[in-house]
Amino acid sequence: MKTVVLCYPTLIPRYGLIRRGMLRFARQRTDWFVPYFLAARSLELGELSEVRVDGVIAFLDRRSELAAAKGIGVPMVNISAAFERQSFPRVRVDQRRDGQIAAEHFLQQGFSCFGYVGIAGHWGFRLRHEGFARRLRQAGHPCAFHALPGSLLRGGQWARETKELSLWLGRLSKPAAVYCCADPQAGLVLEVCRRDGLRVPSDVAVLGTDNETNICEETSPPLSSIAVNWEGLGYEAARRLASLLDGERAGDGDWLVPSLGVVQRRSTDLLAVASRPLRDICEHVENHLGEIRSMAEVAACWHLSRRTLERMFRRGLGLSPRQYLDELRLRRAMNLLRQDSREGSLKEICYKSGFTDRQQMHHLFKTRFGETPGQVRASFDHANLTQRTSSPENCALPLPARKGGTRKRREKRS
């Protein structure tokens, strides 16, 4: 019987997901034992001297941890992308692909000014920047860059860094789309925008990474974020560790786990249009989506004729007001199904999304996606269960998961 443990420094939400994926693989192995008293809490590398283990999955994001890990003397798989060069077999998130997903998300919304906020010295976050900037260059757009320090901001450092971030945001042409390396940094951008009077998302749209719900759902406005497949990462790391314990060669290169796609919330829930009046109307519609029954109500609220409103939407978005409203409702419903696939009735999702009744939602889903809301919910449940990682990042709205298995590829270390 082989004893296997997960070393992760803190009990943040992603730890539980990584552990779940690791345990899902362990249940398939009759020769694996994962001690509950170690799996149920965070574990530091230094504690391994007190426990006999045969294999380790570790998040090695400090130089000191990389050095200490070499002295453990058992097969180990690293799941951190903090450093490009390291000596352990590694399974990591496909950070470069995350950047491409973010760029596609903003390009579909019509933005032409872009920025990236990263952390100085972090290799994985640099890959996200590279993927983001490369896709934007392909579309003919430059990308501004701002680096934050890797340590927590305190005292005078906080004031200095937030001032520099404020100046950087102020220099961006509006409306601007800002992609952040992780959710805490995106939360900081939201705070600076609110302090400086920049409206999110109409002046600055902000997208994070990791989909840490304790951050994303508590910011103002709620933060859109790329959902990383942490459970899939844990599963793949366990599978890689099993091959090492079975005597196979580690091989060259990192194993990459693609993310699940964008979970859209209010911080990017707006199409970028040149006309400020139309942006204001779109923001009003999105803020009151659950209350609006027709675009005629919107026209009356803004003291416009229906013909004038129609002309504004056709010129600015290439959609009729009714088409725009339907798209928003579908996107809201799809996000609710993605986020809460096991919670909340379809009736609740229907009214939260602004549909007048379930029949209307059912008809639009069948027309747009070829599936009913119930079938879409089932597809998301199945995707979560089977670790499917193909994402609908090339679609204007989050679509149901495609049929097929987990996509994996290998990337040579440079």
**Angle at alpha carbon of residue 260, lines to 110 and 214, rounded to 5°:** 90
Give dist(CA 35, CA 296) in Å, integer. 62
pLDDT the model gives residue 106: 93
The pLDDT, as a whole number, for residue 316 is 78
pLDDT recorded at residue 403: 34
Q: Are 223 and 216 in contact (CB under 8 A)?
A: yes
Position 22 in a domain: yes
pTM: 0.73
Residues 246 and 235 in one domain: yes
Helix axes of 373-386 and 321-339: crossing angle, nearest 10 degrees: 40
Q: In terms of domains, do 247 and 169 share one?
A: no
Which CATH number is 135's domain given?
3.40.50.2300
Tokens 């919670």 belong to residue: 343
Give the model's pLDDT for residue 272.
Answer: 58
List the alpha helices (DSSP H) in 288-320.
Answer: 295-301, 306-317
Per the CB < 8 A criterion, the answer to whether 129 and 110 are in contact is no
* Structural domain contains residue 288: yes
Domain shared by 146 and 53, yes or no: no
Same domain (yes/no): 196, 306? no
* Cβ neighbour number for residue 131 with a 10 Å cutoff: 22
Does residue 48 lie within any of the structural domains?
yes
CA-closest candidate to residue 376, choices 398, 406, 353? 398
> Is there a contact between 286 and 270 (Cβ–Cβ < 8 Å)?
yes
Our CA angle for 48, 52, 58, nearest 5°, is 40
Say yes or no: 223 and 292 in one domain. Answer: no
Q: What is the pLDDT of residue 135?
A: 97
Residue 155 falls inside a structural domain: yes
Q: Which pLDDT value is given to residue 397? A: 35
Write the CATH number for 365: 1.10.10.60
pLDDT along the chain (414 residues), means of 10: 77 79 89 68 64 86 85 89 91 96 91 94 95 97 92 65 94 94 95 94 93 90 93 93 88 87 85 72 83 87 91 83 87 73 71 86 86 78 42 33 37 40
Q: Is residue 392 a part of any domain in this protein?
A: no
* Tally of structural domains, the chain: 3
Q: Are residues 88 and 235 in the same domain?
A: yes
Domain co-membership, 203 together with 242:
no
| CA-based R_g, the chain, Å | 23
pLDDT confidence of residue 92: 95
Q: Within 13 Å and on the Cβ side, how many CA atoms surround 106?
A: 35
Are residues 110 and 48 located together in one domain of the fold?
Answer: no
pLDDT tens digit string along 135-159?
A: 999 999 999 999 998 765 555 577 8
Residue 107 lies in a domain: yes
User: Which residues does residue 207 pair with via DSSP β-bridges, in sequence order?
Assistant: 179, 224
Give domain status of residue 313, yes or no: yes
Q: What is the pLDDT of residue 380?
A: 61
The predicted pLDDT at position 84 comes to 92
Please indicate, yes or no, if residue 399 is contained in any of the structural domains: no
Do 314 and 342 sit in the same domain of this protein?
Answer: yes
Cα distance between residue 128 and residue 123, in whole Å: 9
Q: State the residue range of the domain holding 55.
A: 2-93+230-257
> Both 6 and 27 in a single domain?
yes
Q: What is the pLDDT of residues 53-74, one digit of tens each?
A: 888 999 888 888 888 888 888 8
Same domain, 266 and 139: yes
Q: State whether 145 and 221 are in the same domain.
A: yes
Q: What is the Cα–Cα distance from 48 to 64, expressed in whole angstroms?
A: 15
